[in-house]
């Protein structure tokens, strides 16, 4: 090889070596950049984890040892159930009878932690009341932690709205607290529908009526043959009526529509239905006429004429069939005819119903009308939330 060619070879080799070095340097730089990116990602992940742990630590420090109030109520209820599995002899024996066990007793029996451990730094007291209703035992926990929390019954939440003497609201009438007017905050949400509170009774139970009517809630009051009419015009005796049978099936879940869950039924108490009769011109609104005949220990029923009339604020709503009773009345349902429980005392085949216009009229019992059931909520039932308005109804525990 001559000197010229050797020179070219040396230059070529030098150039090739430089290219290789450049490629290696480039690869090294890429690897370093990748490592830097991975390090940044790892630092971010570690930072997020550290921040998360700090937040958890702060939560633990601030709320440590403090169970939610409602969880404590459930804890007491569960403990009481276990307590009375052993102490069966202490359970109430008579219908409506109530016994009480203190949270301290449940803690001493090691069925729950003491309240001062569940709510550290607070002075709390608690108890569970057990009431016998329809051969079942209903457990109701009560918790009081000073000004921070107090278990509140539905009737107390209603009464806190205050008694009014004019305008829509809660009125003191005939020893009861009665809702009157068009715009009242008396909505209660149950599992399968919305009801409205008609009144708080003298013993703080609450009469509720279905807020609307279901498409399946139609029935005759009665369709039996009436000899006095020589026709199947029916009778206005609620005890033996078809509508009584209809309501029993509705309560017992034998209807196409289930309006009360088993959870709802635990909140109810039996009550006396006033099934006495009145005439179209009777002016008494105290339920004295309707309650002259009583059907005891019922779980479901219908509204009386007096209760419907009392819901109106119109001063000229005096007699049963006065058309002004539709005015300023939240119970009115436009476009719907629905049965009251009250029969016409002047005619054994006629029953009062609320017309679609909102006033009361009499009809043959054989007529088909909508049904708005009534139920009675027990006085020991607690609220979870709500203020009774249509948009924020009372929700029960």
Report pLDDT digits (tens) over 268-299.
999 999 999 999 999 999 999 999 999 999 99
State residue 213's pLDDT score: 85
pTM for the full predicted model: 0.77
- Give the list of residues 6+ apart from residue 385 with CB closer than 8 angstroms, or none: 392, 394, 395
Would you state the structure tokens that stand for residue 77, as one six-digit string? 């209820």
**Closest residue by Cα to residue 283 from 249, 325, 220:** 325
Residue 209 and residue 316: Cα distance in Å, rounded? Answer: 24
Domain boundaries, given as residue ranges, for the chain: 69-151, 158-377
Mean pLDDT along residues 351-378: 96
Neighbour tally for 65: CB within 10 Å: 12
pLDDT greater at residue 46 or residue 88: 88
State residue 17's pLDDT score: 52
Q: Cα separations (Å) of 231 from 72, 225, 228, 342, 362?
A: 62, 6, 8, 21, 17
The mean-pLDDT minimum among 15-19, 136-140, 205-209, 360-364 falls in: 15-19
Residue 227 and residue 257: Cα distance in Å, rounded? Answer: 34
Q: Cα separations (Å) of 57 from 50, 61, 116?
A: 10, 6, 22
pLDDT at 16 over 60: no
Q: Yes or no: say if 339 and 369 are a contact pair by the CB < 8 Å rule.
A: yes
Residue 37 and residue 32: Cα distance in Å, rounded? Answer: 9
The residues with which 128 forms a beta bridge, in sequence order, are: 101, 141
State residue 173's pLDDT score: 96
The residues with which 339 forms a beta bridge, in sequence order, are: 353
pLDDT tens for each residue of 372-393: 999 999 998 999 899 999 999 9
State residue 131's pLDDT score: 86
Mean pLDDT along residues 352-371: 96
Mean pLDDT along residues 14-24: 50
Mean pLDDT along residues 33-56: 69
pLDDT at 12 over 70: no
Residue 388 and residue 393: Cα distance in Å, rounded? Answer: 4
pLDDT at 303 over 70: yes
pLDDT at 25 over 60: no
- Give the list of residues 6+ apart from residue 37 with CB closer than 8 angstroms, or none: none
Rounded to a whole number of angstroms, the CA Rg of the chain reads 36
Please give the mean pLDDT across all residues of the chain: 89
**CB-facing half-sphere around the CA of 389: CA atoms within 13 A:** 3
Q: What is the phi-psi region of residue 284: left when phi exceeds 0, alpha when psi lies from -120 to 50, beta otherwise?
A: beta
pLDDT greater at residue 213 or residue 387: 387
pLDDT tens for each residue of 240-268: 999 999 999 999 998 888 899 999 998 99
pLDDT at 307 over 80: yes
pLDDT tens for each residue of 309-329: 999 999 999 999 999 999 999
Distance of CA 51 to the CA centre of its chain: 40
State residue 345's pLDDT score: 98
pLDDT tens for each residue of 47-104: 677 676 655 555 444 444 588 998 999 999 999 999 999 999 999 999 878 999 999 9
State residue 31's pLDDT score: 63
Helix (H/G/I), strand (E/B), else coil: 232? coil
């Amino acid at each position: 090889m001559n000197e010229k060619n050797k020179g070219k070879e040396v230059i070529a080799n030098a150039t090739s070596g430089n290219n290789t070095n450049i490629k290696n340097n480039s690869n090294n730089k890429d690897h370093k950049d990748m490592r830097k990116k991975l390090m940044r990602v790892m630092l971010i992940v570690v930072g997020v984890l550290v921040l998360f742990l700090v937040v958890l630590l702060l939560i633990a420090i601030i709320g440590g040892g403090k169970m939610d109030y409602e969880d404590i109520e459930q804890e007491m209820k569960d403990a009481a159930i276990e307590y009375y599995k052993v102490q069966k002899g202490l359970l109430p024996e008579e219908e409506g009878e109530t016994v009480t066990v203190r949270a301290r007793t449940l803690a001493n029996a090691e069925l729950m932690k003491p309240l001062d451990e569940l709510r550290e730094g607070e002075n709390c007291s608690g108890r569970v009341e057990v009431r016998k209703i329809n051969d079942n035992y209903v457990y109701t926990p009560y918790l009081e932690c000073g000004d921070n929390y107090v278990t509140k019954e539905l009737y107390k939440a209603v009464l806190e709205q205050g008694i009014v003497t004019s305008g829509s609201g809660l009125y003191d009438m005939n020893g009861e607290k009665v809702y009157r007017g068009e715009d009242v905050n008396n909505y209660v949400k149950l599992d399968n529908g919305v009801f409205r509170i008609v009144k708080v009774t003298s013993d703080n139970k609450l009469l509720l009526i279905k807020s609307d009517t279901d498409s399946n809630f139609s029935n005759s009051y009665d369709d039996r043959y009436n000899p006095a009419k020589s026709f199947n015009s029916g009778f206005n005796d609620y005890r033996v009526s078809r509508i009584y049978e209809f309501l029993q099936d509705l309560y017992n879940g034998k209807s196409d529509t289930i309006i009360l869950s088993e959870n709802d039924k635990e909140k109810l108490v039996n009550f006396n239905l006033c099934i006495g009769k009145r005439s179209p011109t009777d002016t008494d609104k105290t339920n004295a006429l309707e309650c002259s005949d009583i059907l005891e220990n019922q779980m479901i029923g219908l509204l009386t004429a007096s209760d419907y009339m009392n819901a109106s604020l119109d001063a000229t709503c005096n007699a049963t069939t006065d058309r002004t009773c539709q005015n300023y009345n939240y119970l009115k349902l436009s476009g719907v005819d629905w049965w009251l429980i009250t029969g016409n005392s002047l005619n054994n085949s006629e029953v009062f119903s609320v017309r679609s216009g909102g006033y009361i009229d009499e009809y043959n019992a054989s007529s088909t009308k909508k049904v708005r059931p009534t139920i009675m909520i027990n006085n020991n039932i607690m609220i979870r939330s709500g203020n009774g308005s249509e948009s924020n109804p009372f929700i029960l525990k």
